[in-house]
Amino acid sequence: MRISAGILKGRNVLAPEGKDVRPTSAKVRESIFDTLQSKVEGSRFLDLFAGSGAVGIEAYSRGASEVYFCERNRQTIPLLKQNVSLLKGAGKVYEGDAFALLERLSGGFDFIFVDPPYKEDVLDRICAVVERRKLLKEGGMLIYEHSSDVKVSAPHSFRIVKSKRYGSAAVEYIMRGSICAVTGSFDPMTRGHAEVVKRAREMFDKVVVVIAVNDQKSSAFPLQVREEIARKALEDMPGVSVDICEGYVYKYCNKHGINTIVRGLRSEREREYEEYMAEYNLKKGGVETIILPIPDMEDISSTALRRALEEGDRERLDRLCAPGTAEIILKKFGEKAAGGNYD
């Protein structure tokens, strides 16, 4: 095996022999580091179930400042130590059980690479120890390689942000913290929408407001304007971001590692539609939906807000708009009325 990039590019890494040995392939290693890109520079990297140590050595070659290796197979340890000698003191080899090591290590890692034998299901247990001992830094990532025949779900307090398949192998990129999507056309965002986002943020660590295209509806405001209004409405909510989805919402969620959608329910008249969409997204993409009843919001809607705009009813507009957005909505509506281009 050869290192594919960085200061050790082209250097050979010795591979252990035996039918039970399954080193991470060059294709998978290159894909992992293409995904991580510049984030590896200066990072602290842990390679569990290290085997040859090729992944951790690749991390060092690409700029990791400190790499830890753990391997329990005594026959593999001498070969691993020989490979790690390439790191000139920046690598440390631990012999023994990965879980015992996790209980001893101190400080947080930027990346933890986990590649156990495919027959061993260790993800939940490892994530539990990592969470309890705070072994991932803020924004850190656990990279889990496993058989592509096995479907992996995010353990409690973690989320899968990206999944990739490579024939018989699969890799999950996992981060701490729960996440959900609040979806809608937001044409434009109202006080009711903002309340749903606020409630969702109380339930999840991160919330993505997904502005979706509905081909069955004509829009009063272009997507980019709806995005600008939503960002203004939510700018004071930490952990909340805004994005646009021009395809199926469940596909967006699958792509971004989001397993839950949160929807607001203004009245029982909407429940049948919301439950239908919840079932659709679950069947199509495995995405769960939480339907939140929002009291005292029955008369607040984007339709009512647009009507107040057309009628010039500023008092009603202020009541319907998400906080801080009335002026920007008036400005954009005025540009449209004047035949402008929403500059």
Print pLDDT tens along the chain (343 aa): 889 999 999 999 988 775 555 677 889 999 999 999 889 999 999 999 999 999 999 999 999 999 999 999 999 999 999 999 999 889 999 999 999 999 999 889 999 999 998 888 899 999 999 999 999 998 899 999 999 999 888 888 888 888 899 998 999 999 988 889 999 999 999 999 999 999 999 999 899 999 998 777 778 899 999 999 999 999 999 999 999 998 999 999 988 888 899 999 998 889 999 999 999 999 999 899 999 998 888 899 999 999 999 999 999 999 999 999 999 999 988 876 555 554 4
d(C-alpha 139, C-alpha 16), whole Å: 33
Fold identical between 26-176 and 179-337?
yes
Are 70 and 46 a contacting pair, CB within 8 Å? yes
Q: Pick from 106, 143, 141, 139: which is nearest to 123 by CA?
A: 143
- Cβ within 8 Å of residue 100, ≥6 positions away: none
What is the CATH class of 26-176? alpha beta
Pairing of strands 66-71, 44-48: parallel
Q: Which whole-number Å values give the CA distances from 286 to 148, 157, 162, 179, 245, in the listed order?
A: 17, 18, 15, 15, 18
Q: Check if CATH label 3.40.50.620 holds for domain 179-337.
A: yes
Global pTM reads 0.67
**Residue 343: per-residue pLDDT:** 46
d(C-alpha 279, C-alpha 296), whole Å: 26
Domain extents in the chain? 26-176, 179-337
Q: Give the tokens for residue 5.
A: 């990039």
**Residue 342: per-residue pLDDT:** 46
CA torsion 300-306-311-312 (nearest 10°) is 90
